[in-house]
Every structure is written in C-alpha cells, then in structure tokens.
Amino acid sequence: MHDTSARLVERVLPTAPRRWVLTAHFPVNSTSHAPQSFCVTDGEQPSLLIYSMQVGPWNVPLQRLLPNMTSDKIVPVILIVEDEALVRLSAVEMLEDAGFRMIEAANSDEALELLSADSDVQLLFTDINMPGTIDGLVLARQVHDRWPHIGIMVASAKQAPQPEELPVGSRFEQKPYCSDTVVRHARELTSA
C-alpha cells in the first residue's frame, strides 16, 4: 500500500540478482527535490521488502545525519568478477565484513564496463573460468595493462595458473576460499 501524500518514483535496479525495484518517496506538498524515503522491493514479490531508509531532515549536516557512514578514512573499493551468484555473494559478504566497499560483475565484459566508469576501484578480484568474451586471466592482464594502479587477485577451484600467466604482483586464491588469506591479500594489495 502506497502513501497517497507522497509522489513516488520507481526504477528497476538493473544489476540486482532479480528484478528489484527502487522506490523514492517525495512529499507532495513540498518544494524540495529531495526524497523523504527510499525502499527496495522484489519486483516479482512486491510485498518482500529488501531495504528501507528514511531520509532527512535535509538541513542537518551530513556528519550528524550519517555519523557511522562518513569518516576521514578512504574505504578501498574492490570489483569482484564471479559468474556464480552464491560464490560472489559469499565473497562480497566476507570482504564487506572486513571493511571494503564492493562492486560486482558477473563476467569480464561487465567488469570492463564498470572499470571504465569507476576510477575508484583499487582491487580486481576475478574468477578465471567465466562466460563472456574473455576469461579471468585475460581480464587480469588487460586490467594490469590499462589500470596499473589496480591490484589483482585471481581465483579458481581448478589448478593454479603458472606464475607467468598472472600479472606481476597479483595473488592467486584457491577455491574454496580461506577468508583470512583473501582478506590479508586484499589489504596488502590496497594498503588498507
């Protein structure tokens, strides 16, 4: 049930695992262009609330409004490239719990698009065997050549690649992951 005193703006989130819908609620009798609240629902099951957040008041300083979300410390950004959704979710949770900000891609083509658009990425964490026009090893080499400042971690459940197949300075992670090792390598490669 929608609030009739608010104007709603809905958008489908294209990178969500299913058809998730972002709804922004704007007060009807307000001249503000700022939303009052946001929520994300499952587009296939609208009653399933995934995330909700109240926003405002807008005249409160950002530091006071979001004290736990702002700091002087820069949070390293990791782009994870993994076609298996559950493996990707597990790795994202592990690295978010360690304090990293995560961006996700399901294949190398998506990853290259995201990297072209987001200069904040500091670490690429990619699976080797994936669908797409190139595999994870080729992706790792292209990223190393185009964005040499980005650290690289390559993962596989199969045999480890030969050292000369990996870009200089990168790390190999054997699946299933050892979370302590993955987090330690991510910190080393981002200096976090």
Same-domain check for residues 37 and 118:
no
Burial class for 192, CB neighbours closer than 10 Å (0-12, 13-18, 19+): middle
Q: pLDDT confidence of 191, banded at 50, 70, 90?
A: confident
**pLDDT at residue 189 greater than cutoff 50:** yes
Helix, strand, coil percentages (3-state) for the chain, rounded to 5, are: 30, 30, 45
For residue 67, the model assigns a pLDDT of 38
Range of the domain at 49: 6-59
DSSP bridge pairs for 22: 11, 40
Same-domain check for residues 50 and 102:
no
Same-domain check for residues 94 and 37:
no
Reply yes or no: is the peptide bond before residue 27 cis, omega within 30 of 0.
no
Alpha helices, H only, the chain = 62-65, 85-97, 108-117, 136-146, 179-190
Same-domain check for residues 93 and 163:
yes
Same-domain check for residues 25 and 94:
no
Distance CA 179, CA 192 (A): 16
**Most confident among 37-41, 117-121, 132-136, 188-192 (mean pLDDT):** 132-136
Report if residue 67 sits inside a domain. no
Kindly state the percentage of the chain with pLDDT values over 70.
Answer: 60
What is the tens place of the pLDDT at every residue in 61-107?
434 433 344 445 678 999 999 999 999 999 999 999 999 999 999 99
- Could you give the angle at which helices 85-97 and 179-190 cross, rounded to 10 degrees? 60
Same-domain check for residues 25 and 89:
no
**pLDDT at residue 60 greater than cutoff 70:** no
Report if residue 49 sits inside a domain. yes
Count of domains for the chain: 2
Same-domain check for residues 107 and 170:
yes
CATH number assigned to the domain comprising residue 96: 3.40.50.2300
Q: pLDDT confidence of 39, banded at 50, 70, 90?
A: low
What is the tens place of the pLDDT at every residue in 111-150?
999 998 866 899 999 999 988 899 999 999 999 999 999 9
Report if residue 160 sits inside a domain. yes
Same-domain check for residues 33 and 82:
no
Same-domain check for residues 33 and 114:
no
Same-domain check for residues 163 and 116:
yes
